[in-house]
Amino acid sequence: MKLQQLNIQTNSLQNEGLIKETNKMNALIAALEAKEVPETIISTINTQIDALNALTSTEKKIRKSFHNTHCTILKSLEKELKYVSKNHYRNLWMALGMSVFGLPLGVAFSAAIGNYGFIGIGLPIGMVIGMAYGTKLDKKAEADGLQLNITC
């Protein structure tokens, strides 16, 4: 089964946000065509693309629908096939590193010197640790062939 294409032409649109979302959806479809995707997932994605092609409301609502569908497809691909976009794990672990590593380091450092004004000193340290770990996971996903050639 083949993935369906979007019927919306970007040259007839005035809303720059909608043009951007349309290009993101087209890039996602192209990236998925380069990968092996099971028939069940392709049929689910085709159903969502058909729903997008049938939209007739304002450009703002269409843009929101495109964005929501894009996120839904990416989440289902990550959950079922472990396919992720470029820098997915880096962006995820940047925030996790700040909260998991950075905040406890900041609390320990500020308690050690007795000045709780330095509690935020651990946040950039945790951010770097999280980004390093996320980059490692991104490289592993790329080596395993689980990284889609798109950015979010």
What is the structure's pLDDT at 58?
86
Specify whether the CB–CB gap between 101 and 130 falls below 8 A. Answer: yes
**Cβ-proximal residues to 15 (8 Å cutoff; 6+ apart), any chain:** 59, 60, 63
Show me where the domains of the chain are located: 10-81, 88-141
Q: How confident is the model at residue 26 (pLDDT cuts 50, 70, 90)?
A: very high
Question: Which tens digits make up the pLDDT trace of 110-140?
Answer: 999 999 999 999 999 999 999 999 999 999 9
Assigned token pair, 86: 């470029």
Q: Give burial (CB, 10 Å; 0-12/13-18/19+) of 4.
A: middle
Question: Which tens digits make up the pLDDT trace of 50-103?
Answer: 999 998 888 889 999 999 999 999 999 999 999 999 999 999 999 999 999 999
Q: How confident is the model at residue 21 (pLDDT cuts 50, 70, 90)?
A: very high
Specify whether the CB–CB gap between 78 and 91 falls below 8 A. Answer: no
What is the structure's pLDDT at 59?
86
Q: Does the pLDDT of residue 11 top 90, yes or no?
A: no
Specify whether the CB–CB gap between 106 and 123 falls below 8 A. Answer: yes
Question: Which tens digits make up the pLDDT trace of 135-148?
Answer: 999 999 999 999 99
What is the structure's pLDDT at 97?
97
What is the structure's pLDDT at 152?
78
Q: How confident is the model at residue 5 (pLDDT cuts 50, 70, 90)?
A: very high
**Cβ-proximal residues to 141 (8 Å cutoff; 6+ apart), any chain:** 82, 84, 88, 89, 147
pTM for this entry? 0.86
What is the structure's pLDDT at 117?
92
Distance CA 19, CA 25 (A): 10
